[in-house]
Amino acid sequence: MSVTISQSPVERTTHSYAGSLYLLPSDEEERQRLLAQHQLYTRLFSGRLIFPPISFSEKDDVLDIGTGAGAWLCDARAQLPEPVQLYGIDIESRLFPKYPTISANVHLSICSSTSLPSYWSSKFTLVHQRLLIASYTRDQWRCTIDEIYRVLVPGGFAQLIEIGPEYPSGPKTARHILFLDEFLASRGMLMRCAVYVADMLKAAGFVDVMSEEVVMNMGKWAGEDGVQGKDATIGAWRGMRDSVMRAGGMGHYASAEEFDKTMDEISEEWDSTEGTHATVRVIYGRKPI
Ligand SMILES: C[S@@+](CC[C@H](N)C(=O)[O-])C[C@H]1O[C@@H](n2cnc3c(N)ncnc32)[C@H](O)[C@@H]1O
């Protein structure tokens, strides 16, 4: 008689920043996911990393909030005049790029967007923030946008990029999205933050608020970019597993194994359903002079 011993999946490493509700891990697998996702998003936006009409001068400073693996920051550096100083903050340093990828004009520190240094008031020409969807409560969104406003120079721009509001509609995906809506809402978070950012910017005092959107195809049917889109998105969803199970699965998932299996099934659904896509939205606005 053979006995099969099944082991629960190993929990992934997460941040330890006090008070943060951030749902995704901060391990090497996540770092690799972020780097690949950055390459894909850069292609989706035809190589554009900076969207507002800014002509940078040598004295300008740029801030990247939730910089993670610093991929946007390092690539944006190459598009800016050499003396521009780039700052990246994150609640977790484990994902930060290592020397020699970063250079003398790149400064990384551990800090929360909800409480930026007081001496950064009116410092930055551009503040960029991408994919903080699994980070903030509604109040933290408002607080972060107020902080961005404070640290921008008059005339400076905020630029935020978020996935959504369109998501795939296959039956297995739709069930999980309903779950995510409920799970994030139970923590006061906004699954559809892409819809709200423009209004939050206007409410904080930003003017000339603009949005642009691209379609991200997901699944093998869409070739290499479809596979990348699927891996980036399902990789983020898979990364939420431990947070979901710590919350008891919310009556939707009885075990980590069941969660993983559902992610496999959703992945197959995307591979086999032509037209599967999500949208990605960039929203930017100017602090008045
Ligand atoms: C999904 S990752 C995106 C990383 C990067 N912006 C990108 O697009 O590749 C979100 C990042 O935000 C960081 N984060 C979460 N809450 C934060 C906060 N309150 N302040 C600063 N960073 C935060 C996380 O640690 C993580 O590195």
What per-residue confidence (pLDDT) applies to 101? Answer: 66
What per-residue confidence (pLDDT) applies to 8? Answer: 72
Residue 100: how many other CB atoms lie within 10 Å:
6
Measured in Å, residue 221 CA sits from the centre of ligand 1 at: 30
Buried b / exposed e across 55-78, counting CB within 10 Å, b at 16+?
Answer: ebeeebbbbbbbbbbbbbbbebbe
Helix (H) or strand (E) holding 186: helix 171-186
Measured in Å, residue 162 CA sits from the centre of ligand 1 at: 12
Query: Rounded to an integer, what is the distance from CA 24 to the centroid of its chain?
Result: 10
Measured in Å, residue 89 CA sits from the centre of ligand 1 at: 8
What per-residue confidence (pLDDT) applies to 264? Answer: 98
What per-residue confidence (pLDDT) applies to 98? Answer: 80
Mean of the pLDDT values across residues 227-239?
A: 98
More confident call, 121 vs 1: 121
Mean of the pLDDT values across residues 218-232?
A: 98
What per-residue confidence (pLDDT) applies to 166? Answer: 95
Residue 74 is which amino acid?
Answer: C
Measured in Å, residue 24 CA sits from the centre of ligand 1 at: 9
Residue 11, domain member (yes or no): no
Quickly list DSSP for 74-135: HHHHHTS-TT-EEEEEES-STTSPPTTTS-TTEEEEE--TTS--GGGTT-EEEEEEE--TTT
Q: Are 114 and 220 contacting, i.e. CB atoms less than 8 angstroms apart?
A: no
Question: Which residue owns the Cα nearest ligand 1 atom 15?
Answer: 135
CATH assignment at residue 124? 3.40.50.150
What per-residue confidence (pLDDT) applies to 14? Answer: 87
Q: Report how far residue 4's alpha carbon sits from residue 25's, in angstroms, rounded to the nearest whole number.
A: 29
What per-residue confidence (pLDDT) applies to 10? Answer: 87
Residue 6, domain member (yes or no): no
Residue 249, domain member (yes or no): yes
- Domain holding 230, by residue range, is 28-286
Block residue for tokens 């739709």: 174
What per-residue confidence (pLDDT) applies to 3? Answer: 52
What per-residue confidence (pLDDT) applies to 174? Answer: 96
Give the C-alpha distances (Å, rounded to integers) separating 206 from 90, 112, 145, 194: 24, 21, 10, 16
In sequence order, what are the beta bridge partners of 214? 280
Measured in Å, residue 26 CA sits from the centre of ligand 1 at: 10
Q: Which of 191, 132, 188 is nearest to 165 (CA)?
A: 191
Residue 7, domain member (yes or no): no
Q: Which residues line ligand 1 (CB under 6 A)?
A: 15, 20, 22, 24, 26, 34, 38, 65-68, 71-72, 89-92, 95, 112-114, 130-132, 135
pLDDT in tens, 33-68: 999 999 999 999 999 999 999 999 999 999 999 999
Residue 62, domain member (yes or no): yes
Residue 259, domain member (yes or no): yes
pLDDT in tens, 156-214: 999 999 999 999 999 999 999 999 999 999 999 999 999 999 999 999 999 999 999 99
Question: Which residue owns the Cα nearest ligand 1 atom 1?
Answer: 131
Least confident of 11-25, 130-144, 269-283: 11-25
Give the C-alpha distances (Å, rounded to integers) separating 217 from 43, 145, 231, 268, 280: 12, 30, 11, 14, 10
Block residue for tokens 């929990």: 11
> Which one of 14, 31, 131 would you pick to mutate in the ligand 1 pocket, going by the greatest count of ligand atoms within 8 A of its CB?
131
Q: Which of 119, 5, 140 is nearest to 61 (CA)?
A: 119
Q: Are 219 and 273 contacting, i.e. CB atoms less than 8 angstroms apart?
A: yes
Measured in Å, residue 220 CA sits from the centre of ligand 1 at: 28
Q: What is the mean pLDDT of the chain?
A: 95
Of all residues in the chain, the percent with pLDDT exceeding 90 is: 90
Q: Are 111 and 117 contacting, i.e. CB atoms less than 8 angstroms apart?
A: yes
Of all residues in the chain, the percent with pLDDT exceeding 70 is: 96
Q: Is residue 2 very low, low, confident or very high in pLDDT (cuts 50, 70, 90)?
A: low
Looking at the predicted structure, is the pLDDT value of residue 276 above 90?
yes
Looking at the predicted structure, is the pLDDT value of residue 280 above 80?
yes
> Structural domain tally of the chain?
1
Residue 14, domain member (yes or no): no
pLDDT in tens, 72-120: 999 999 999 989 999 999 999 999 998 656 788 999 999 999 999 999 9
Residue 248, domain member (yes or no): yes
What are the φ and ψ backbone dihedral angles of 230, each rounded to 5 degrees? -65, -50
Looking at the predicted structure, is the pLDDT value of residue 30 above 80?
yes
> Which one of 21, 22, 39, 137 would you pick to mutate in the ligand 1 pocket, going by the greatest count of ligand atoms within 8 A of its CB?
22
What per-residue confidence (pLDDT) applies to 57? Answer: 95
Q: Which of 282, 29, 69 is nearest to 163 (CA)?
A: 282
Looking at the predicted structure, is the pLDDT value of residue 6 above 90?
no
Give the C-alpha distances (Å, rounded to integers) separating 144 from 14, 100, 113, 201, 208: 22, 30, 5, 10, 19
